[in-house]
Amino acid sequence: MNMIAFSQMDNQHLIELQGVTKVYGTGQAAMHALRGIDLHIEEGDFVAVMGPSGSGKSTCMNILGCLDTPTAGTYKFKGIEVGKLTRNQRTRLRRFYLGFVFQGYNLLNRTSALENVELPLIYRGVPSGVRRVRAVQSLDMVGLKGWESHTPGELSGGQQQRVAIARAIVTEPAVLFADEPTGNLDMARSREIMDLLTGLNRDRGITIVMVTHEPDMAAYAKSIVRFLDGLVESDRRNGGQHNAMEHDSTGLA
């Protein structure tokens, strides 16, 4: 489990959490969402984050995604200590390095698929001509060629999720964070999405961190991190890929 991480201890990890805690509220009402997390994620990895609700995986994702900062401990992204950055600096970090597939798609309503995908490029200051070309390419990559002008209301759940993925990868991020990307989809659609993510990880070298409840989906990942009560319960390499039957809920391999 930790052998790979251990052997690379002296090198720089893409993502490195050390003793990260997160406490909401103070005093008696304090809620310890994370109680001391140590985690490494290497470039090119595909990590599935699992755990029951309330186990701290969402909090951890928010911290990893630079949307939130730890109460204590350090989070280093490419060697940069995120906790010491200002809100605007963290925004720039997200803008240039991270891609997000939010839970429940979170596309802009009444806005075409193309414009949704263009959005992160606007904030990067990409000129409109280039923006359009890249957005079209990105939509093509997720298999939505010809759907550019459709608004989320006119798209199916699977299609909306693919637009969300297209939006997340259009900037060619270093890390793609996906929060239950197959949450509302049926099995066939879920497999499509997972194939897409696996392809992106394999062919484009995008590091993926994905939260999921479903062991079948987690089985697509290269490694699985399990959360329980604000702690990492297990962190192990996934034996085989694309094998939904391979999953093991006992923890340590």
Q: Does 106 bind another protein (CB under 8 A)?
A: yes
Q: Does 62 bind another protein (CB under 8 A)?
A: yes
Q: Does 152 bind another protein (CB under 8 A)?
A: no
CA 209 from chain center: how many Å?
A: 4
Residue 148 · residue 114 · CB < 8 Å? yes
With contacts defined by CB under 8 A, name the span among 92-100, 184-192, 194-202, 228-236 that binds another protein: 92-100
- Please select the residue that binds another protein; options are 100, 147, 220, 227, rule is CB under 8 A: 100
- Please select the residue that binds another protein; options are 69, 74, 91, 198, rule is CB under 8 A: 91
At 68, is the secondary structure helix, strand, or coil?
Answer: coil
Q: Does 69 bind another protein (CB under 8 A)?
A: no
With contacts defined by CB under 8 A, name the span among 6-14, 86-94, 154-162, 241-249 that binds another protein: 86-94
**Rounded Cα gap, residues 147 and 154, in angstroms:** 10
**Rounded Cα gap, residues 44 and 112, in angstroms:** 31
Residue 155 · residue 142 · CB < 8 Å? no
Q: Does 151 bind another protein (CB under 8 A)?
A: no
Residue with tokens 């995008």: 206
The distance of closest approach from Cβ of residue 126 to another protein in the complex, given in angstroms and rounded to an integer, is 11
Residue 213 · residue 180 · CB < 8 Å? yes
List the x/- string, 31-60, binding to another protein by CB under 8 A: ------------------------------
Beta-carbon contacts of residue 85 (< 8 Å; ≥ 6 apart): 66, 93
Nearer to another protein, 26 or 110 (CB): 110
Residue 47 · residue 209 · CB < 8 Å? yes
Q: Does 21 bind another protein (CB under 8 A)?
A: no
Q: Does 67 bind another protein (CB under 8 A)?
A: yes
At 9, is the secondary structure helix, strand, or coil?
Answer: coil
The distance of closest approach from Cβ of residue 123 to another protein in the complex, given in angstroms and rounded to an integer, is 4
- Please select the residue that binds another protein; options are 69, 102, 191, 198, rule is CB under 8 A: 102
Nearer to another protein, 13 or 131 (CB): 131
Q: At what angle do helices 87-97 and 113-124 cross, to 10 degrees?
A: 120
